[in-house]
Structure 1
Amino acid sequence: MKNAATPGAGRYEEKSWAVMLLVCVLAPAAWFAGLTGVGWQEMLSEGALAAGMGLFGAAITLSAFRRGERWAWFVLWYYPAFLTAHILASGSGIPGMPLLLLSMLGLLLPVRRFFGGRSKRRVA
C-alpha cells in the first residue's frame, strides 16, 4: 500500500523536466542579458557556446530526461558543474547562483525516478 506522500512526490519527479528546461532556457538568456554595454563582437564565440549549450540541454531534457533515461540525468549534471566553475572563476555568485540552485533542484527531485526506490526493487 502506498502512503499519502508518494503521489505528490511522483508529481514532482514527473515535472522536474520542466525545471531543467527552464535552466536550459535561462542560462543562455542570462548570458545575452549580460551583453549590455559590452563589445558584443568580442563575446560572439561565448554567445554561440551559450546558445548551443541551451539547445543541447533542451533537446536532452525534452527527450531522454523526460522519458527517465538514466544517461540523460548524468549528462545534465553538466549544468551545475559549469555554473559552479563559472561562479568560482568570475568571483561573483549573484548571476549564476539562482541557476545553479535551480539546476540542482531539477536534478535532485527525480533521483528516485532514475535510480528506483525500495518499492521498485522488491519482487512481488
Structure 2
Amino acid sequence: MASAPNLRWYEEKAWAVMLLVCALAPVAGLVDLAGAGWQERLPAGTLAAGMALFGAAITLSAFRRGERWAWFVLWYYPAFFTAHILASGSGIPGMPLLLLSMLGLLLPVRRFFGERPARRVA
C-alpha cells in the first residue's frame, strides 16, 4: 500500500501533520503540570511524553509507509484529546490538538483505503 499511484501531495505529507501532533502532545501535558499540586499531575505529563514518543515512532515508520494498521492505531490521539476535553471542561489546549490530529488522519484516507473498486455487472 505504500506506493499507491496518483497520490495527492497532502496524502503523501499527512505524516508531517501527525508528527506535529506528537511533538505538541507533551506541551499539553506541561500545561497540565503548571500551577500548584504539580506532583499529583506528574503522571499525566509522563503519559503525554510517552504517548508522544510512541506516536512519533509509529508515524515515522508504518504510517509514513502507508500501513493501514498504523492509521487505526493513531486514532488514539483524537480519542485521547476528546476525553481530555470532556474531563477537563476546557478546550485549551486539547481542541487544537484534536482538530490537528483528525486532519492528519483524514487527509490520507484514500492512501490507506484506496478508491472503491468498480462494481461488476453480472
Question: Given the two structures, how large is their TM-score scaled by the length of structure 2?
Answer: 0.85
SS of corresponding position for 2:79: helix
Is 1:43 the counterpart of 2:29? The answer is no
Does structure 1 conserve the Cα–Cα contact (< 8 Å) formed by 2:14 and 2:105? yes
Does structure 1 conserve the Cα–Cα contact (< 8 Å) formed by 2:22 and 2:56? yes
For residues 35 and 107 of structure 1, what CA distance do their matches in structure 2 show? Answer: 28
Aligned with residue 27 of structure 1, among 25, 28, 38? 25
Does structure 1 conserve the Cα–Cα contact (< 8 Å) formed by 2:32 and 2:44? no
73-82 or 93-102, which deviates more: 93-102
Paired amino acid for 1:89: A
1:35: Cα distance to partner?
2.4
Question: Given the two structures, how large is their TM-score scaled by the length of structure 1?
Answer: 0.84
> What CA RMSD, in Å, does the superposition of the two structures yield over aligned residues?
1.8
State the number of aligned residues: 114
**Who is 1:109 aligned against?**
107
Paired amino acid for 1:63: S
Unmatched runs of 5 consecutive residues or more in structure 1: 1-5
**Who is 2:71 aligned against?**
73
Is 1:17 the counterpart of 2:15? The answer is yes
For residues 33 and 52 of structure 1, what CA distance do their matches in structure 2 show? Answer: 16
- Residue by residue over 1:8-65, the C-alpha shift from the partner in whole angstroms, topping out at 9 and shown as x without a partner, is x610000000000000110111211342323322222112211110000000000000
